[in-house]
Amino acid sequence: MFSDSVRCLVVVGAQWGDEGKGKIVDVLAEQATIVARYQGGANAGHTVRVGDDEFVLHLIPSGILYPDARCLLGNGVVVDPWTLADEMDRLRARGIDLDGRLGISRRAHLVLPYHGVLDAAIERSRGAGKIGTTGRGIGPAYRDKIARTGLRVGDLRDMGRTRDIVTAGATRANATLVGLEDAERVDSEEVLASLEAIRPQMLELLADAGDEIRAGLDGGARVLLEGAQGAMLDVDHGTYPFVTSSTTTAGGAAVGVGIGPTLIDEVIGVVKAYITRVGAGPLPTELPEAEAERLRRLGGEFGATTGRPRRPGWFDGPVARYAAGVNGLTSLAVTKLDVLDTFETIQIATEYRLDGAQVRGFPDSVDELAAVAPAYEDLAGWGEDTSGCRTLEALPPAAQTYLSRLEQVCGVPVRLVGVGAARSETIRTPGPDLAIA
């Protein structure tokens, strides 16, 4: 995907997250000089398989598994420093050299213990209207950022300033907990003691992500910008309020690392060959439980970070077309094609209908989205193991037809196809459009 004319690419989820971005980033990172995460926090996990080894990464970009890649957490990421330190320790224990290879933007905000307490308490207070948050403090951390009351990684250079911000934050958190009639409380001194202990490790990682990336591109570097979650979880363009608290779409990549959007050359949208989502909110193509359990079992559809079971459905064309538009997708990476190997018939939702009429555009109301009826197109399954295929031509004709139909439904060319979790189990298509047998 990198070339002389393409030196900065964005990899973004084009569904509700969990599309297999970690694998796609890992495959592309082999050619990258810099890999930078631009949003989200430790509420999302990327799973990467190298040979018989499996790595689950929560904050550190997937490029860390390549020894020459410089990995950055941009200013758009909210960083739980204790989770990050634990992740670093686990990688080092497995022989991954991190020295000089990992940096955090000084402008990135920190997720603090009282953010997690608030997250869980607010979710409890919603009762039957729960959103399905992971409870890891992401929303409250972003709220403090927007309210201009957050603690940034660079603030750790001044413990006096850190004390003022944390003390005020803990006071606000406790006031909120009282208002929610929640029994938990936060001790600011405990938070400060924990920060003091981890502070030296964080200060060693301070960087200016934007400066590094711009200088790298000026010097001929290849830059990969990695998103978390998916377009349908974007705080502006997703199925609000059942969304995350950051800009997951490609527009957030430039903002989240500190570069101009004109430096981005290509935007790759990652989709599963079907669809899943975690937590509450509408999923128009959701399967009945018996079929859902089959797909969940075949695809290993459990959250990499939380372990929560995902809700599977057939491929949703309206979602993919909408994601293509809001992200400006230039190509697609289709993952987990092999999961469909044993299905006799595979369905694709080509449009939505509401009260018998075609829905124009994508619904901005979750109530309307919950009420739509997908119009399905049936395609024949291929009934063959595709995990050994390494070229498009090696795929069964019915699988090639399925991929071609996804292209037509989405309006975006397929450039990568995943037929397994390993790096090697990836097909690169020959050009901007599929060559169907």
* Active centre residues (catalytic): 18, 46
Beta bridge partners of 349: 316, 376
Q: At what angle do helices 159-179 and 113-125 cross, to 10 degrees?
A: 20
By the 8 A CB rule, do 410 and 331 touch?
A: no
In whole angstroms, give the CA distance from residue 352 to residue 281. 17
**Kind of pairing, strands 357-358 and 345-354?**
antiparallel
Residue 229's nearest CA partner among 204, 246, 211 is: 246
Q: Give the helix/strand (H/E) hosting 26.
A: helix 21-29
Q: Mapping DSSP to helix (H, G, I), strand (E, B) and coil, where does residue 361 land?
A: coil
One DSSP character per residue, 304-347 reads TTT-PBPEEE-EEHHHHHHHHHHHT-SEEEEE-GGGGTT-SEEE
**Kind of pairing, strands 223-226 and 8-13?**
parallel
Q: 24: which 2 tokens?
A: 């796609």
Residue 245's nearest CA partner among 12, 41, 18 is: 41
Instruction: Tell me whether residue 5 is exposed, middle or buried, using C-beta atoms within 10 angstroms of its C-beta: 0 to 12, 13 to 18, 19 or more.
Output: exposed
By the 8 A CB rule, do 395 and 386 touch?
A: yes
Phi and psi angles of residue 379, each rounded to the nearest 5 degrees, phi first: -120, 150
Q: For the chain, give percent helix, strand, coil, nearest 5.
A: 40, 20, 40
Counts for the chain of helices (H) and strands (E), in that order? 12, 20
